Structure 1
Amino acid sequence: MSDAETLRVYAQRAQDYADRFTSNTTPPLLRAFIADLPAGGHALDLGCGPGHAAAAMAGAGLRVTALDPVAEMVALASAHAGVDTQIAGFDDIAGTNIYDGIWANFSLLHAPRPDMPRHLAALVAALKPGGRFHIGLKTGTGSRRDPIGRLYTYYTDVELTQLLQNAGLTITDRTTGSGKGLDGVEAPWICVAAHG
């Protein structure tokens, strides 16, 4: 993600974001992701934000690498025990057969549409054979800014399915729903589970 306005919003609202989405329980989709990984496996939290998901993974005994392009988010994520944090964006993904699982939960929706195939290819390369992949996106069409200035790229279920299959992933489950984000607007979403 390189959109300056989106990065600025997250930098300014990092603590608000952390406070708004904190929970004492691990969400079901994250629990399922963790359960699919081998004991002590290596997980990547891509666009980790304040590190809530990364902390849950580390708490479950996984080795966790958490990446985010916003220094303020990385500072919050680094406070969680067992989480290796780095300031990095989608273009910084490199390497082969590194991760047992990749958690890309509502992060890649900030990538420009033309860049998505390239990002997915890099992530699939970094995923171990048979590794678990999770992606969450807001559903819809086109690209636009939300009320607080973040740039979103929206996908339909059909479009996302094709992208993941083209990247070499096998989809095993999908969940749809609706919820309020940092902007307070109710929006539909989709989460897809897949394997490399």
Structure 2
Amino acid sequence: MSDAETLKVYAEQAEEYAALTDDVNAADPVLAAFIEALPKGGAVLDLGCGPGASAAQMAQAGLIVEAVDPVAEMVALAGRHPGVTARQASFDDIDAVAVYDGIWASFSLLHAPRADLPRHLAALTRALKPGGLFHIAVKTGTGETRDRLGRFYTYYTDAELSGLLEAAGLTITARRTGSGKGLDGTDAPYIAISAHA
């Protein structure tokens, strides 16, 4: 993700975003299920980790967590959590092959243009070990737009996202829908999908 306006919003509101996400992630049943499904001491990539609340939960559970985010301020916050290795990187910097037992991409890939998602998913699938677990969550809908803060979003239907995951070679094992309030204060519907390589 390299949209300058989106990155600027996250850089300027890193602390506010941390305050918003810390408590939510601590009680997230989808994150708990993701952690439970991974081998003890497994290697995990948190893609678009933000301030690192999810990465912290994974590290506390004994997973080896690599957290990446394109925003330096987010990387600094994520790196403060014990057991979390955080580095600044974009989606295009993921070039590992068969390294991760799991990849957590929660509300990060929705900031990539629709045309780029197949390429990103292909790279992430390659980065997973055989049978590795992939989690993605995006806001549902259609089109691409900016929110009131100026962040770029791509919206997906369940069918569209499922098709893209399957085209990348992933097998869908679970899905969950819901709605939640984001940094811009609006409540939006979302879908979270788990899949295996």
The aligned amino acid for 1:100 is D
Structure 2 Cα separation of the partners of residues 166 and 25 of structure 1: 32
CA RMSD in angstroms, aligned pairs only: 0.8
Shift of 1:42: 0.2
- Any stretches of 5+ residues in structure 1 without a counterpart? none
**How far apart are 1:25 and its partner, in Å?**
3.1
Q: CA deviation at 1:26?
A: 3.6
Query: What secondary structure sits across from 1:21 in the alignment?
Result: helix
Determine the structure 2 residue equivalent to 1:31.
32
Separation in 1, partners of 2:21, 2:83: 20
Percent identical across equivalent pairs?
66
Equivalent position of 2:166 in the other structure: 165
Q: Is the 8 A contact 1:26 1:56 kept in 2?
A: no
Partner of 2:5: 5
Which amino acid in the other structure matches residue 109 of structure 2? L
Q: 4+ residue stretches of structure 1 with deviation over 2 A?
A: none
The whole-number CA distance in structure 2 between the counterparts of 1:83 and 1:5 is: 27
CA deviation string 1:60-110 (max 9, x = no partner): 000000000000000000000000101001000002100000000000000
CA–CA distance in 1 between the matches of 2:12 and 2:51? Answer: 13
Q: How does 1:50-65 map to 2 (within 5 A)?
A: 50-65=51-66
Question: Counterparts of 1:97 and 1:40 in 2: how far apart (Å)?
Answer: 16
| Equivalent residue number for residue 186 of structure 1 | 187
Structure 2 residue aligned with 1:89: 90
Partners in 2 of 1:8 and 1:161 — Cα distance? 30
- Counterparts of residues 1-196 of structure 1 (less than 5 Å): 1-23=1-23, 25-196=26-197
Amino acid at match of 2:74: M
- What is the TM-score when the length of structure 1 is the normalising length? 0.99
Query: 2: distance between equivalents of 1:25 and 1:41?
Result: 20
State the TM-score, normalizing by the size of structure 2. 0.98
SS in 1 for 2:174: strand
Aligned residue-pair number: 196
Q: Give 1:179 deviation, angstroms.
A: 1.0
- Alignment check: 8 A CA contact 2:26 2:53 kept: no
